[in-house]
Amino acid sequence: MAITYDYYRIFYHVAQCQSFTQAAEVLGNNQPNITRCMNNLEQALGCKLFFRSNRGITLTPEGERLYLHVSIACDQLRMGEEEIQRDRSLESGILSIGASETALHLLLLDRLSAFHTRYPGVRLRITNDSTPQAIAALARGQTDCAVVTTPNQAAMPLRETRLLPFHDVLLCGSQYRELASRPRRLKDLEPYPFICMGRGTGTYEFYQRLFARHNLPLRVDTEAATMDQVLPMIRHNLGIGFYSEELASPSVSDGTVYQIPLVEPIPERAVCLIEDTARPQSIAMKALRCLLCEGAPV
């Protein structure tokens, strides 16, 4: 006779209630059916599990040993069900997000603040990576999504959704202030030291392509590990460099850096959400996606 999970579930409640009748009430069943199931379980195991008397039932030594194991299993299953229910209502859960520096400051921090206000029980784990690193971590299944900037190398089964367009501007510090006095061509700037993210980043790739379209090499004098380092380097006159117009605006306004107008237009970039379509999304991830995509360009 095959022993099903239902038999052990019934055994658990009978042992808890010490009564077939009370266990039947808890389970929404009837007493004869509960008794029959326990008789079948005893027959299948080849031993008595209960001492039956007019005062109720108690467990035999074999029943006590079995109950130790069954109670652990039932408690674990109950906790699992409760955890799933909490996740469904977004009362708990965890989200792991890979983010590039620019995407983090242009969009993600504000959206995560709104998400945390709505769903304070969901824990957030944010890794600060370059765009290629964030996409690679997503492809390896180490994160639930990546929020990065273009250009990126997201290929199927990864899916890109553009969230926010932005423009970069060319900046300099006080030592190179004269460059901001009139529009300059990229070729005019070759003699000046240039600050940029290092090779292997989306930003380096973007500007390498831009300079190549104008038949110019991209010579980087100072490589930054993160975009957060670029603006202080420009401010301290280590060179000139590109930075998000929105993020640079306060420093331009207070005169600590200067915008160099360019003759050649700088192509638009975008903050993007990258998802792995080969993996099912958690309820928390679906909720985050809805929030991230609010107001996104069609």
- With 80 as the cut, is the pLDDT of residue 88 above it? no
Report residue 297's pLDDT band, with 50, 70 and 90 as the boundaries.
low
How does pLDDT run across 105-130, given as a tens digit for each residue? 999 999 999 999 988 988 999 998 88
pLDDT of residue 296: 67
pLDDT of residue 82: 63
| Mean pLDDT value of segment 141-154 | 91
Q: How far apart are CA 230 and CA 242, in angstroms?
A: 8
Helix ranges (DSSP H) in the chain? 5-17, 20-27, 31-45, 61-88, 101-103, 109-118, 131-139, 202-213, 227-235, 245-253, 283-292
C-alpha to C-alpha distances, 68 to 62, 65, 171, 192, 216, nearest whole angstrom: 10, 5, 70, 76, 75
For residue 220, how far is the Cα from the chain centroid? 32
C-alpha to C-alpha distances, 83 to 78, 79, 80, 162, 212, nearest whole angstrom: 9, 6, 5, 33, 54
Query: Coil, strand or helix: which one is 196?
Result: strand
Handedness of CA 207, 190, 198, 103 (dihedral sign): negative
- With 70 as the cut, is the pLDDT of residue 52 above it? yes
pLDDT of residue 261: 97
Report residue 2's pLDDT band, with 50, 70 and 90 as the boundaries.
low
Record the tokens describing residue 291, joined without a space: 């929030």
Which carries the bigger pLDDT value, residue 53 or residue 33? Answer: 33
| Mean pLDDT value of segment 44-52 | 91
Which carries the bigger pLDDT value, residue 200 or residue 158? Answer: 158
How does pLDDT run across 161-171, given as a tens digit for each residue? 999 999 999 99
| Mean pLDDT value of segment 259-280 | 95
Record the tokens describing residue 184, joined without a space: 């300059």
Tokens 């859960």 found at: 93
Q: Which residues contact 274 (CB under 8 A, 6 or more apart)?
A: 134, 135, 138, 145, 146, 147, 148, 152, 154, 158, 159, 160, 161
- Segment among 74-83, 95-104, 192-201, 248-257 with least mean pLDDT: 74-83
| Mean pLDDT value of segment 7-36 | 91
Report residue 93's pLDDT band, with 50, 70 and 90 as the boundaries.
confident
Inter-residue contact 239 to 170 (CB < 8 Å): no
pLDDT of residue 298: 52
Residue 269: CB atoms within 10 Å: 21
Structural domains of the chain sorted by starting position, each given as residue range(s) with its CATH number in brackets: 5-88 (1.10.10.10), 94-164+270-292 (3.40.190.10), 168-267 (3.40.190.10)
Record the tokens describing residue 183, joined without a space: 């529009």
Residue 52: CB atoms within 10 Å: 12
